[in-house]
Structure formats: C-alpha cells, structure tokens
Structure 1
Amino acid sequence: MKYATQDATLSFAKRFSNYKDFYYKYDNLVFSKLGIGTFNKEPYKEENYVFHYIEGVKQAIRSGINLIDTASNYRYGESEKEIGEALRELGDEAKREELIICSKGGFIQLDYPFPKNPYTWIEDNIIKAGLAKAEDIELDQHCMTPDFLEYSCRRSLKNLGVEALDIYYLHNPEMQMIKLGEKEFYKQIEKIFKRFEKLADEGLFQSYGVAVWSGFTSEREELLSLERLVEIAKKVGGENHRFKYIQLPFNMGKTAAYTQMTQKVSNEACTIIQAAYRLKIGVITSSSLLQMNLFKNSFKAETGVILDNTMTLKTDIQLALQFVRSTPGIISSLFGSKVPVHIKENSEIAKVKSVKREKYDLLYRL
C-alpha cells in the first residue's frame, strides 16, 4: 500500500493504548495529535546538511507519532532524504500505510552541496527546463507554476523513497499575492488546484492543501480567503475535490488562528480555525515551540496548573505542546527535534489528557 489507510493508522494507534486522547480521526485517517517536523532554520550553515533527523524520525514513530511533515526546500532536500532513510532503517517496524507523510512545494530546492552560483542553477534547472519563466520566481526563491510544482512533487517522492504522499501542500503562496494582485493570484491558484487534482488522479498524493506562515491570519494585503480557495477547489474538482488541509503556525506566543477573526464564511467574520471547520478543511499547525523562542522566561504557575493539574509534565516545552495539542479544532501540531531523547520526553504528554475547552479558554485570560 502506498498511502496511509484508516485500518492501518487505527492499528498503529492501538499499539499505544496507554495514551490519553492522543489520536484524532479525520478524513478516514487516524492522526497522532503531535507530528514530527523537519524544518531547520539558517539553511546556509554547513552543519544543517549533516544527517540529523534519521534517529529523530525513528524515535518519533516508536513514540506513537505517525504524522511526518517536511518540504522540498528544507535543507535543500536533505530532510526528505533523511526521512526516507529512517523509514528504510525501521523496516517492518513501521508500515507505510500506518504513517501520514506530507511534503510541500513552492520554494526552489536547489541542491546539496549548495551550488556555487544559485542564479545559474535556477537558470539551468528551472527556466531553461521550461518549468517557469524568470518573472514567475519571487525573491529568487519562490515559484508556483503548475509545472514547477509537479516537478517539485516528483522530486520529493524520489527524495523520500515513497510511491505517494498523503498530503501535498502549496507552500507559502501568500509570498506572491502582492506581486500578482488578488485577481491574478486566484487565477494562478485555479491552475495549481487543477494540476493538483490531476496529480491526485495519477496517484502522487491522496489529498492536497495550502501551508502558510501568515497567509490566513495576516492583516495586510497578503491575506488569503479560505472560502475562496474552497470555491476554486470545487470548481476544478467538484464536490469530491482533494483540497482537504491547511497548515499554519500556532503556539502560545502566536495565537491568531484561534483568537483573530481574519476570515469570512457566508459573509460572517470568523477565525481561520472556525472557517476551516465550517468549510470542512482539516487544520494542522506548525511552529508549536516558535523555534524555541517561547522559553526565554518561565511560564506562570497558573499556566501549568491549567494545562496539567496532575503535575505529570515537568518542562515548559511539554506544557507548550500540551497547549497546542489541546486547542479545539486542530487535528495535529508539529514540533521539530533531532534529538531522540527530547522526542521521547515530549511524547510523554500523550500520557496526560488534553485540556477541556472551558479550562483551555482560561489561558487567554492570564
């Protein structure tokens, strides 16, 4: 089987019967409430190319995490390759159909080792190859022509060593909203979604989505309308379209997805999480630890009591993950770590129940 399945993901979850409400069923798949991410900042640093994530990915799966997230440009493809290596090393310990594997396309991946002249690389590998024109590339790094995105998807599959993905995201499209203008931007989205439906028909992925940094919560011109995206998906794919997911950052320091009414559905203002619920789109969140910037000061004692009155959780990192894991309307939340012992420690939150809605909302009053 080349995709995750309901029976296999459920079977995976049952192996961790001591976990407390740590699994969530959505779109006929069972997701772990935490997912492992493989983004590493400052990609030009040489140490970011050293194989880091193999043992981390293996530990995440052994700890009950079955959602694995990456992108074609993360460390210029090395993150994808390391996930593939981890899956090969696990062998029969983890079946492909138990795991929900996601990648993204939109940023130009380049190569490892980093090319001496990236502009020449782009000219030779993207423009001359007919994947895009020079004017399609924003800031020398972002491209979202259908041909380039298909190329990126196929390259991701090769890097990962899998036949198909479960979710393929259009990565940070808001980067091109201002340049294209709203009318042309959504015309481009229609072309992309049409190609994505075709690639789903061909078996490259089960579902597709849109992953943003600020696109769904921005107060500037780059704001995307989820309702409009769904309308486009229905136009090109019908009622059974494969646009099923969005991904956006959410953490204790960046709560706009839950608190700010940046979207409209049927002309009624709502948060992006509410909009996704009404439009039947699954929400997966990223940057759960804000790249470790949440921990410059210790959390308030009241925060710890609300998130875990059993006093089981010992660290602020665990509390931060308990916060995102408990947020209503979110399928799963991603965190990044390369260190197996840290991943095992973070997964301990699965032994504590998530916070009920009435208690969770108290956190916003502290």
Structure 2
Amino acid sequence: MQGLATYEGTARFASRKGVRADFYGLSQGLVFSSLGLGTFRKEPYREENYLRTYEDAIAEALNQGCNHFDTAINYRYQESEKELGRALAKAFSKGVVARDEVIVATKAGFLPLEFPFPKDPYRWIQTQVVEKNRAKKEEIIIDQHCLSVPYLEWSLEQSLENLGLQSIDIFYIHNPETQLGYVSKWELHQRMRHAFAWCEAKKKEGKIGAYGVATWNGFSYEPDHMEHLCLATLVRIAREVGGQTHGFKFVQFPYSLGKTGAYTVPTQVLEEGNILPAFGAAKALGLEVILSSALLQMHLFKGAFSDKTVAVLGGESDIQAALQFARSALGATCALFGSQDPLHVKHNFGIKTQPRVPQKHYNLLYRMSA
C-alpha cells in the first residue's frame, strides 16, 4: 500500500469518528489520536504469545478512533509487524480506513530473528546478517543489536514487506543505549550519525515520513550514567547531516504512574546549560513525544489506586485512570498501550469521551505523592 499519512487524511479520520475533538492533537503536520495501540509482548519465546494475534484488537482500535499503531521488527520475532500488516490490509480493502488516515511506526536496531524461533539463533545471525554483508561481527553488540547502515536498510525493507506498505510514517532507531558499555559514547555518536544520514536519504526517497529514537531508560538516566543519551547531542547530529529541516522529529520513551522520571527528573542538558526532564527537553528541542508502556505492562495494578488518584484522573477503572494520566501529560502527543483483546481495547478507549486532565489538577498528583 503506497503513501504516507497526511494532514488531510488524519484530519478526515478524526472528523469521521465523531469523537471529542480534544481526543486528537496536531503533531508534525499529522492529527494523532491521544491513545495508540502498541504491539510489544515481553518474553516472546513463550508459545502462548502466538496463540492470539493483534488483528482483532487493531480492528477494534480503528473502530474506536485510534489512528496510531506502533510496532518493531523484533517484536515477537517479526510476527507483530505481520499481524499489523494483515489487519491494516483488511481495513484498507473494506474501506474502513485509508492509508493516508493512519500513522504507522516501527523500529530497527535489535536483531529480530524470525518465527518459528530458529534452532540455532547464532547461526541465523551469521547467515542472515554477517554472510550477507549487512554488518560485520564487531558491529553486532551482544548478539542482539546493530546499527550498521546495510543492516538498517535490510530492516526497513523487511518491515515494509511484513507490514505490506511502501512507506513508514515514523521510523525509530531502537534503544541505541544498548550499545553503551560495549562501545564508547563517541563511537555510538558516529554510528548514530551514519544512521541519521541514512534516515535522511530514506526520507527523501519517500520510504519514511520522519524518524526518531525510541528508548527505555536512555533519556531518563542521569548524565553520568553509562547508558545516558543526550537529546541535544542527537538533535545536533541530525542538524549536521540533515540541516535545519532534518527529519528527526519524534522520541519515544516510557511514562506511567509507576515510571514518571521522564516528566519529573532533570537529566537532559541543553546547549545553553539548562537541565530539564526528558519531556521538557524534547519539547524545547522541537521534538514530539510518544509515550510507551502507559500501563507499565500491567505492573501498575497489583493494588487498587487511591481514591484521591481516581478523583483527579477519573475513568471507570484503574486502567482508564492510568491511561488518562499518561495521555494528559503536558507535551504528550500520544500514549501507547498494548492489548490483543478487542474487549479490553474497547474498554480502554472509553476515555475518549473525557477531556484530558487540566494541568493544574494533573500537578496535584505529584504533590499528593510527595
């Protein structure tokens, strides 16, 4: 399926769904739903991860007004991408949605292997990556992560095939901090420079709409931490290889009631010397923020939320309250959650009828926990 998401298409989708206008927001010329569906499942080697697919959940998300879908080539050994591709193909063919109405993101960096899991994963790396000149052995970190340009090229083409698309709206470099401790920070910056230059070329070709960096802890660690990533440095590299109109537009990191550091802990030093949390730094640098793991992989719900928390956030359940918390953070473009159950998806999107929490009320949550 050709094309990229457009302002006209995403605005058309939002208007057609008849949801509250403030459920959507404009970022980088696209209208995003404030909740998006992710396709990550931990422990991908477990067979039960393949007994159900995301296809019905994706169809329900579209029905509920979601137009942002996030995946990665390594999620469930490429199966998540393939399931997203099949679900979108069905929706396109039935006229449920058009290609220019949905924003599709994927990621590259981790070696994805494939499903069924190869009997000898090290042999797979040797035959599929090294022997095909996609990377040298020394460019592969702990048998799982690689940023060589030929490998990124293969990853993008493989993702496009898995998704059944000819272009990706947001293409993330995935957890580059994985390499720190095995290569120097200087070396990682050189690898990111080559990766960003390649992304700029793919953007000019129309293969990607924009690119970004997705991390787990890299932006939230203190500056002296081994795996700390500096947003200002990454933006400087993007400007050097792509000019002032570079395509580095998005960052993704986790944020939830149980993982708030990106919003509260100053870790990012800007060029003028200010130090801000990842949220504030990203916005100061002109980057859009996509939030992953808004439900903290369901670890938030080992006990009931307090009455005060629910009173501030609202919602019919603790899950809805948690999603309200994530999507209401000042500067957030979209908060992602994962579910393969369409009934859960429908429930979670119940907050589409509610406004985001006002900032003065939102900040009370931090005072209450202080």
Query: What is the TM-score when the length of structure 2 is the normalising length?
Result: 0.96
Following superposition, the deviation at residue 363 of structure 1 comes to 0.3
Match of 1:115 in 2: 118
Which of 147, 153, 158 is the matching residue for 2:156? 153
Secondary structure at the counterpart of residue 129 of structure 2: helix
Paired with 1:77 and 1:348, the residues of 2 have a C-alpha distance of 30
Match of 1:132 in 2: 135
1:65-76 → structure 2 map (5 Å cutoff): 65-76=66-77
Match of 2:279 in 1: 273
Match of 1:239 in 2: 244
Following superposition, the deviation at residue 47 of structure 1 comes to 2.2
1:1-366 → structure 2 map (5 Å cutoff): 2-19=3-20, 21-90=22-91, 91=93, 92-219=95-222, 220-265=225-270, 266-308=272-314, 313-366=315-368
Any conservation in 2 of the 1:73–1:110 contact (CA below 8 Å)?
yes
Paired with 2:150 and 2:52, the residues of 1 have a C-alpha distance of 30
Paired with 2:32 and 2:106, the residues of 1 have a C-alpha distance of 16
Q: Which amino acid aligns with 2:69?
A: I
Following superposition, the deviation at residue 137 of structure 1 comes to 1.3
Paired with 1:164 and 1:20, the residues of 2 have a C-alpha distance of 28
Paired with 2:215 and 2:126, the residues of 1 have a C-alpha distance of 26
Paired with 1:330 and 1:2, the residues of 2 have a C-alpha distance of 26
Following superposition, the deviation at residue 200 of structure 1 comes to 1.1
Secondary structure at the counterpart of residue 180 of structure 2: helix
Any conservation in 2 of the 1:263–1:270 contact (CA below 8 Å)?
yes
Any conservation in 1 of the 2:52–2:340 contact (CA below 8 Å)?
no
Following superposition, the deviation at residue 43 of structure 1 comes to 0.5
Secondary structure at the counterpart of residue 181 of structure 2: helix
CA deviation string 1:307-331 (max 9, x = no partner)? 12xxxx2110000001011110110
Following superposition, the deviation at residue 51 of structure 1 comes to 4.5
Please, what is the CA RMSD of the aligned residues? 1.0
Identity of aligned residues (%): 45
Paired with 1:357 and 1:180, the residues of 2 have a C-alpha distance of 41
Following superposition, the deviation at residue 50 of structure 1 comes to 3.5
Q: Tell me, which stretches of 5 or more residues in structure 1 are unaligned?
A: none
Aligned residues: 362
**In structure 2, do the counterparts of structure 1 residues 150 and 16 end up closer, same or farther at CA, with 3 Å as the change threshold?**
same
Secondary structure at the counterpart of residue 332 of structure 1: strand
Query: What is the TM-score when the length of structure 1 is the normalising length?
Result: 0.97
Any conservation in 2 of the 1:263–1:269 contact (CA below 8 Å)?
yes
Q: Which amino acid aligns with 1:30?
A: V
Any conservation in 1 of the 2:56–2:341 contact (CA below 8 Å)?
yes
Paired with 1:115 and 1:80, the residues of 2 have a C-alpha distance of 18
Which portions of structure 1, spanning 4 or more consecutive aligned residues, are displaced by more than 6 angstroms?
A: none
Any conservation in 2 of the 1:157–1:163 contact (CA below 8 Å)?
yes
Secondary structure at the counterpart of residue 343 of structure 1: helix
Tell which deviates more after alignment, 11-20 or 78-87: 11-20
Q: Which amino acid aligns with 2:163?
A: L
Paired with 2:260 and 2:365, the residues of 1 have a C-alpha distance of 11
CA deviation string 1:240-277 (max 9, x = no partner)? 11000000000000001100000011211111111111
